[in-house]
Each structure stands twice: as structure tokens, then as C-alpha cells.
A and B are shown apart, each in its own frame.
Chain A
Amino acid sequence: MTLVDTTGSTTGTVRGTRLSRRFLQHRLAVASAGIIVVLALLSLAAPAVEWLLGTSAATTNLFDRTAAPSWQHPLGTDEIGRDLLLRLLYGGRVSLAAGLVAAIASAVIGTFIGLLAGFYGGRLDALLMRFTDGVIALPLLPLLIVLAAIDLNKLGLPPSIAQSENVSLYRIILIIALVGWTTVARLVRVEALSMRSREFVLAAVAQGSGSARIMWVHILPNIVSPIIVATTLSIGNIVLFESVLSFLGLGIQPPLPSWGNMLTNAQEVIWSSPQLAIWPGLMIFITVIAFNFLGDGLQDAMDPRAID
């Protein structure tokens, strides 16, 4: 249930051609990238599929419940007669968006904190790293339960956000970003520390460049690869994590579909309609495994010496 745990470390720039060659050698990773692209495109194309099928994901039909696959409903229908394929596609939108946004948000926070700590060092570094250690020591899941239950209104969010149907999605993204940044922060700090004593950075300092500029222009581009790897791996983990939160009743809330809540709901009708559980379960499984392979491949390609 950890979000992600990579100990990749890398130095120097990597040339694009070498990178892509290495990556392409990693057949599983290439296949995974393909799968992810297809899944993402399909999810994005959900409205088009709706148009093709002539129905919408929200259309219920109590007289056509848990129907078998047909031309009208390629994967059949769910417990209240909604098209399963469309629900899966819209669920994919939500699950993938949650994974992507939360992973990027944690990467941004992590990079920021890691850069500050690594570049400035000293007291600030000690303080930030102690804070990071503290967050890591938090028992994650129980904490998430608390965070998922607190009242957003009490935190002063405007009602338009706190009471929208998408609020559970925002909440999950926020929660994951708040606790998921530690891995990236540690990675970035180590890199930034070593970068700081490199000649080209010292040269930039000598020329009187500002700290922010040095971090942005000289350090960040050189540490981008471990960040990408860690983020890729964490997308898959977040998709998985969302399903766990759904199982605990703290995930994405209906009517918004997500693979996690579709799977969780389906376990109640597992005896009569196992297909309702098979499809979202499969989607989660494929997505998570694909992101893992992709991350693995990227890591190999970007830094063959790193522990993968």
C-alpha cells in the first residue's frame, strides 16, 4: 500500500537516441506504453462511443439489467441496465485522471521540497527532511481514512467545490498529493545535493546567477529522469490505491464511475454477475501492471546502473 518506492539515482544527461533505443529493447515496456495509450484514447473517446451506440453512460434501464453482450451493449449492462462498456470508459477517465493528476501533483510538491532541501542544504535541509521523515512515519491508510471523512466545508472550501458531484475525485487527488510526495522529494534532494558541487553549477553560481534560476535551468533538467520514472510508477499505484479506498467506502463516490468503485460494487453480485467484477478488475490489473512495466522500462533506459 505504499505509493511508490524507487531508489533510482542517475547523473548526467542522457541522449535521446540512446534512451529510445534502450527503451525499445524493453519489449514489455513498449507493449505497456501501447496499452496505456490505447486505454487513454478509448477513455477520451467515450462520448464518441456513446454516440456510436446511441445511448449514454447514465441511461438506466431497469428492464434490461445485467444483460449479456449484444450489438447495443458490447459488454452487456450493469445492475441497473447501464451500458457496461461506456461505464468502463468513463470509469477509466476518472481512474486515469486521478492517477495522472495526483502523481504529477505529488511529483511537483516533491520536486519543490527536494530541490529546496538539496540545493540550500544546512538547516533548511535538516528541517525539511525531518518533516519528510515524519510524513513517511505516518501510518498511511488510517490517516487517509480520517482525511477522507473530514468535512471540506469546515476547511473553508467554496460550496461549489465542496458540494459538487466530483468532490470525491478532488479529495482523493488532494489526499494522495499530500502524502505521496515524499519519494520524489528524497530522490530529488539526493540528486540536487550532488549536483550542487558539480562544476557547471559552481560556474553558474560564480557568474552570479540567482538561486531560482540555477535550480530551474541547471539542476532540474538533469534530474528529470528519476522524477519521470517515479511518477510513472506511482500512477499505477494510485489507480490501485483508489480501488482500495473504494473498497473501504472512501473512494470515488457514485454517480461518478471509477474502476475502483465499479469493482467494489460488483463484489456484492459476484455470484450472479461475475462479469461486472471481471471487467473493472481486469482494467485495474492491466493498467497497473502496464504502468509498472513502463516505469521499469523507462528506468532501465534512462539509467542502466540504477536499482530497478
Chain B
Amino acid sequence: MRMRLSSAAFAALLAVLLTGPTAHAAELKDELVIGISQFPGNFNPNIDSMLAKSYILAMARRPFTVYDKDWRLICMLCTELPDLERGTARIEPTAEGKKGIALTYTIRPDAVWGDGTPITTDDVLFTWQAGREPTTGISNLELYDRITSIDQHDDKTFTMHVNKFTCDYAGINDFEVLPAHVDRANFAEPAEYKNRSAYETDTTNPGLWFGPYRVTQVVFGSHVVLEPNPTWWGKKPQFKRVVVKAIENTAALTANLLSGDIDYIAGELGLLLDQALAFEKRHGDKFDFSYKSGLIYEHIDLNLDNPILADRRVRRALVHAIDRGAISQQLFEGHQPVAHGQTNPLDRVYFKDTPSYAFDPARAAQLLDEAGWDTLKDGIRYNDRGEPLQLELMTTAGNKTRELVQQVLQADWRKVGVDVRIRNEPARVYFGQTLRERKFRAMGMYAWISSPENIPRTTLHSTMIPTADNGWSGQNFPAFRNDELDTVLDDMETECDASKNQALWNRMQEIYATELPVLPLYFRANPYILPKWLKGVEPTGHQYPTALWIEDWHTVN
């Protein structure tokens, strides 16, 4: 009896707790406290590309070139993009006799580091030198390695010689310029650079930053404080202080938002969509919600070496059997549109006549019958040899959205007689080994994030199939081999004529949708939860964060 009483009391208490938070007025609009779910492991822009780091650095530094909110390539640190017609880009043979290109950029004349030192071609040279040094531990060596030499014309203008010509030559988005006047001394021993860089040892040094803000305080693991950078050349930002707080547990993150300890949860690195939707249901009146679907492509890789999946009819049946529309509408309230291929409909190169597969269990059943899976026992299909139609579906353990979707898919497939077994692994194992070494037996669910007009060479080209021989490099995890597609992908990189290039894009999307090496699910959306008084945050929908335009953020009453 006693027990029951206490449990009832417990439930009642919980109900009371959840009835409603007190509103917190935002008195101090000089300060903006942003909540993100991860703290960066380091601050050197070149060492690796961690989302939490790019987000914070976007406020205090700017890339040379970047995609803007309308998915167009723009200059941020340079004056204009190099162009073949204007002569600032020039095709030239490389030392090996291949087709290379020389690109001329000019650094903005008013660009200076936070300590007043101008940003010059010296910095560019230093960055390149550090970037191509194999022992520094810079992960993106390939970018710097592609540059064979750099000519300094003056303090601001330089030409870089790149050993491979591609149509998207103008973008050097990942070229993160480093301050030679601060960090060159720390580079004396390249192997120690990653630890000795001033970005790690002296993070608040103004000479490291040149954005609207500079980093003024770092409490490692907890938060970063940024204050306006007096030498910033662009529009003056509004907030006197920006605090970026890392709170890993998402329930705690939302609680912090409700209690007023943070003002805003960044969409790039905050809540999962379904969490945000659940939160909106309860507290929708207190905040603004913005869901921007973008270039995060959630899909299921099919291991084409699996004899069951080698049959195209089975692959098609698998798509017909799942109600992606219901998942999109019911679980994500339409914010995550169904994907019919790997190219986003918002992308300029999207082919609108891509074949698509509607939710049609009858058709799925028919296809499976045709493929020989025509004997039904206890609701599971078997073939003539008495083998069950059993497939394993894997994804990252602990990703709640994926786990839910996975269970919905499992139930859907079960209805057409496909016995799908779920087995998930921690991300480190799943990405680090299972996918990479193609050890998933049938299906693997995850997402790719890309920039606009990104040629899916690394995920689809037959030379990109990871094998023990190539050291498991490449991202063609399904092991998809299609000679025509290989040619199309090769040509796409170098065929710069707009209409011919588009024709190649169309063909690529057609092959992808016809052959279905991958089951497309949906394009993910990032949920931004903003206070009503914060305006000007415009989600980009691609991998470059909103914070690159933080000077446009402002308050209203």
C-alpha cells in the first residue's frame, strides 16, 4: 500500500514539474549565449575539421571563399573569384604534363589580424608550408598537396598553381590562412606544431583572429567567450559578448534554454530534429523555430556483394516497401523531405525527372516474387533453396532518431515478408571499421553532408571502393561498379560547358536512381531554436555555418 502511494506521489510530482516553466526575460541583449552540444578539441583551423570548431571560428575568422546562403560561391577574404575569362585563372600543363590551373587571388586590402598586422601573402605562404608538411598532423593534406607552388606578386596578390583542373576551380574554401607573425616560431618543429600552435597555447592572442569577433576567454570543455574585434573591417556586430556554451546532454541543453542560461540553440550542432519538434509542441510560443533542410543526405548503403542485394529487383522492392512519406510527414512533420537520389532538389544541378519509387507494398511483393522470394512461411519469404529473405540493418548506436526510423523500416519490411534484423554499433566502430572495411553484411544507415554541386565521385566511382589493397580508402561502401557512371563522373569534373555539364549531372542521377546502390531516405534538416528577439540568423542548408554571417545577427523588441 505504502509503495503504491509513493509511486503515485512520484508521478504527481513529475506532472507538477512539467506544467510550465517561468519565462525569463532577456534583459541583457548585449550578450548572446549560444548553446551547442560539443566542445571543440582544438582551435587551430587547419588541424582537423570538427563542426564545433568551425562554428566558433566562423565568428573570429573567415575563409578565402565559401558558399553563401543561396549556395553560390563567394569571396570572403579575397576580392574576387579567379575566372578563366578574366584571366585570373589560367589553364596550364603540370610538370607531369597533365592539365593544371593557375589561380590568382587578391587578399582584401583592408584585411588585418586582430593585433593590427595586415594579412599578407606571407601568411598564405606560411599556411601552405604548414599545410603540406606531413608531420604536422593536418588531416586535409590533399588540399595543400594539390598546390604545387605559390607566386607572391605583392603583399596582397598571389597566384597558386594547382596540379589538377576541375570546373569548380575557383573555390578554396578549406584554405585556412594562419598568422605567420604569430605561429611561424611554433612551427620550428613541425611534429610538435599541433600542440605548440598559438591557437592552443595562447588562444586569446588577438593576432590569431580577424573576424567580427575574437576569442577572449576559453574554459576548456565548458565555454568560449568572444568579444568584438576592433580591427574587423566589415559591418560592426551588435553583441558586446558572445558566449558559446557546450552542453552535451540534449535534455540538459533544452533545460538550459528554458531556464534562460542559454539564449539560443544552434541548428548546426544542437538538437536532433524530432527532439526539437517535441520541444516546439510544448514551448513553441516562447521561441522561434527554423528548420532548414539541406545537404545532409540520410540513406541506407546496400552491400552489393550480398547475393540477395545483388539483384536489382530486390533493391527496388525494398524501396517500394517503405513508407518514407509517412516517416517524413509524421516523424519529421514534413521538415525532412523524402530523398529520391543523392542530389538535393534545392541544388542547382538537380535533375527533376529522376526516377522515383512510391510507397507500394503490392509492387514490392511482386518484385520479390519475380526475384524468386516467393514462398511465404510465418510471414517471411523464402526462395527455392529454402533460404530466408533475411537482411541485417545497421546504424550508429545511440542515435535515437536513426534507431526509431530503423524500427519503423523494420516493421514496414516485415509486412512484405522481409526479415530485417537490427544490429547497431557505436559510431567509432561503425564508421571506423564496419563501414570503412565494408564489413556490414547487408544494409548500413547513415548520412553524408556535402557542399552544393558536390560531385559524388568518392562515394560512387568504382576506384573508390575501399579494399585492403588501397588501405580502405574511398567511400564507395556499397561497392557499386558501373562503367558508364565512372565515365560520367570523370567527365563531370572537367566538362565546364553549362549545358553539357548539366546533362552529365542528369545522367548521373538517372543511373543512381535506376540502379539503386543506395536506398535514399530523406534530406535532414537542422533545427534552430531562436529567442524571439534574435533576428538575422539565416540557416545555410550546407556544411558552412550561419556564424559566418554573425555580423548580421541583431535583436528586436
Give A residues with C-beta under 8 Å from B: 28, 31-32, 35, 58-60, 62-63, 65, 79-80, 149, 151, 163-165, 167, 249, 253-255, 265, 267-274, 277-278, 281-282, 285-286, 289-290
Query: Taking the complex as formed, is B185 at the interface, i.e. its CB lies under 8 A from any CB of chain A?
Result: no
Please list 18 pairs of residues, one from A and one from B, whose beta carbons are closer than 8 Å in the complex, sorted by A's number: A28-B2, A31-B3, A58-B411, A63-B330, A149-B426, A163-B392, A165-B423, A167-B423, A253-B424, A254-B424, A268-B275, A268-B400, A270-B251, A271-B279, A271-B282, A274-B18, A281-B14, A285-B10
Interface: B23 (CB within 8 A): no
Chain B residues, CB < 8 A from A163:
392, 423
How many chain B residues touch the partner (CB < 8 A)? Answer: 47
CB distance from A175 to the nearest CB of B (A): 15
Taken together as a complex, chains A and B put the C-alpha atoms of A158 and B382 apart, in Å, by: 24
Pick the contact of A63 from B254, B326, B397, B406 — CB < 8 Å?
Answer: B326
Say if the beta carbon of B557 comes within 8 Å of chain A.
no
A35 CB contacts on chain B under 8 angstroms: 3
Give B279's nearest chain A residue, CB to CB. Answer: A271
Asked if residues A60 and B407 are in contact (CB atoms below 8 Å), the reply is: yes
- Nearest chain B residue, comparing its CB with the CB of A261: B403
Given contacts A80-B408, A274-B18, contact A282 B426 (CB under 8 A): no
Q: What per-residue 1/0 map shows which CB atoms of B407-421 lie under 8 Å from chain A?
A: 110111010000001
Taking the complex as formed, is B272 at the interface, i.e. its CB lies under 8 A from any CB of chain A?
yes
Q: A45–B410 Cα gap in the complex (Å)?
A: 24
A254 B282 Cβ-Cβ under 8 A: no
- Min CB gap B346→A, angstroms: 25
> Is A32 touching B3 in the complex (CB atoms < 8 A)?
yes
The contact of B404 among A31, A79, A165, A271, by CB within 8 Å, is A79
Q: Is the CB of B422 within 8 A of A255?
A: yes
Q: In the complex, A60→B323 CA distance in Å?
A: 12
* B contacts with A: majority SS: helix
Q: Which residues of B contact A165 (CB under 8 A)?
A: 421-423
Q: Which 9 A-B pairs have the closest CB atoms?
A: A249-B398, A62-B330, A272-B278, A271-B282, A269-B278, A272-B281, A60-B411, A267-B251, A62-B326
- Which residues does chain B contribute within 8 Å of A79, judged by CB atoms? 274, 331, 404
Most buried by A among B279, B327, B400: B400
Within 8 A of A (CB), among B6-61: 7, 10-11, 14-15, 18
Q: Which residues of A contact B362 (CB under 8 A)?
A: none
Residues of B close to A265: CB separation below 8 A: 400, 403
Question: Interface centre among A58, A269, A273, by most B CB within 10 Å?
Answer: A269
CB of B325 to closest CB in A, whole Å: 10
Closest to B1 in A: A31
Answer whether A286 and B7 are a contact pair too, CB < 8 Å, given A268-B275, A268-B400.
yes
Considering only residues 424-478 of chain B, those with a C-beta below 8 Å from chain A are 424, 426, 428-429
In the bound complex, what is the Cα–Cα distance between A151 and B437 (angstroms)?
A: 15
- What chain A residues lie within 8 Å of B18 (beta carbons)? 270-271, 274
CB distance from B262 to the nearest CB of A (A): 16
Give the docked Cα–Cα distance between A277 and B14 (Å): 10
B283 beta carbon closer than 8 Å to chain A:
yes
* B383 at interface by CB-CB < 8 Å: no
B interface residues (Cβ-Cβ under 8 A, vs A): 1-3, 7, 10-11, 14-15, 18, 250-251, 254, 272, 274-275, 277-279, 281-283, 323, 326-327, 329-331, 392, 397-398, 400, 403-404, 406-408, 410-412, 414, 421-424, 426, 428-429
Docked Cα-Cα span, A273 to B18, in Å, equals 10
B19 — nearest CB in chain A belongs to which residue? A274
| A255 B410 Cβ-Cβ under 8 A | yes
How many Å lie between the Cα of A86 and that of B277 in the bound state? 25
Q: How far is the CB of A152 from chain B (nearest CB, A)?
A: 11
Number of A-B contacts (CB under 8 A): 104
The residue in chain A whose Cβ has the minimal distance to the Cβ of B397 is: A253
User: Which chain A residues border B426 with CB–CB below 8 Å?
Assistant: 149, 249
CA distance A167 to B18 in the complex (A): 36
Q: Is the CB of B278 within 8 A of A254?
A: no
Beyond A31-B2, A255-B406, A268-B272: 13 further Cβ-contacts under 8 Å? A31-B1, A60-B408, A79-B404, A80-B407, A80-B408, A167-B423, A254-B406, A265-B403, A267-B251, A269-B275, A271-B279, A272-B282, A274-B14
Set of chain B residues within 8 Å of A289, measured between Cβ atoms: 3
Task: Name which of B250, B251, B254, B326 has the most chain A CB atoms within 10 A of its CB.
Answer: B251
Once the chains are docked, how many angstroms separate the CA of A302 from the CA of B250?
47
CB distance from A266 to the nearest CB of B (A): 9
Contacts of A249 in B (CB 8 A): 397-398, 426
Distance between Cα atoms of A271 and B3 in the complex (Å):
27
A58–B419 alpha-carbon span in the complex (Å): 13
Of all chain B residues, the one with the shortest Cβ separation from A293 is B3
Residue of B nearest to A247 (CB): B249
- Contact status A254-B422, CB under 8 Å: yes
Query: Please, which residue of chain A has its CB at the minimum distance from the CB of B402?
Result: A254
Q: Which residues of B contact A167 (CB under 8 A)?
A: 423
Q: For B14, B283, B421, which residue has the most chain A Cβ atoms within 10 angstroms?
A: B14
A254–B274 touching, CB < 8 Å: no
B293 CB to closest chain A CB (Å) equals: 19
Given A269-B274, A278-B14, A286-B7; A80-B331 close (CB under 8 Å): yes
Which residue, A59, A270, A281, has most C-beta atoms of chain B within 10 A? A270
Contacts of B15 in A (CB 8 A): 274
User: Are A271 and B403 CB-contacts (below 8 A) given A60-B411, A65-B330?
Assistant: no
B407/A254 in contact, CB under 8 A: yes
- Cα A245 to Cα B410 in complex, Å, equals 25
B11 surroundings in chain A (CB, below 8 A) = 278, 282
Most buried by A among B329, B407, B414, B421: B407
* Residues from chain A with Cβ under 8 Å of B404 in the complex: 79-80
In angstroms, Cα B283 to Cα A272, docked, is 9
Chain A residue nearest to B396 (CB atoms) is: A249
Q: How far apart are the CA atoms of A164 and B392 in the complex, in Å? A: 10
Task: Report how far A150 CA is from B234 CA in the complex, Å.
Answer: 51
Q: In whole Å, how far is B35's beta carbon from the nearest beta carbon of chain A?
A: 15
Whether A255 touches B407, Cβ cut-off 8 Å, given contacts A62-B327, A249-B426, A271-B281, is yes
Which residue in chain A gives the minimum CB-CB distance to B407?
A255
CA distance A272 to B411 in the complex (A): 25
Chain A min CB distance to B283 (Å): 6
A32 to B, closest residue via Cβ: B3
* Alpha-carbon distance between A59 and B379 when the two chains are bound, in angstroms: 14
B407 A282 Cβ-Cβ under 8 A: no
Tell me the complex Cα distance, A272–B284, Å: 11
In angstroms, Cα B422 to Cα A165, docked, is 6
Q: Are B408 and A268 in contact (CB under 8 A)?
A: no
Are B282 and A268 closer than 8 Å at their CB atoms?
no
Question: With A165-B423, A265-B400 as given contacts, are A285 and B2 in contact (CB-CB < 8 Å)?
Answer: no
B283 adjacent to A271 (CB under 8 Å): yes
Question: How many angstroms from the CA of A160 to the CA of B11 in the assembled complex?
Answer: 42
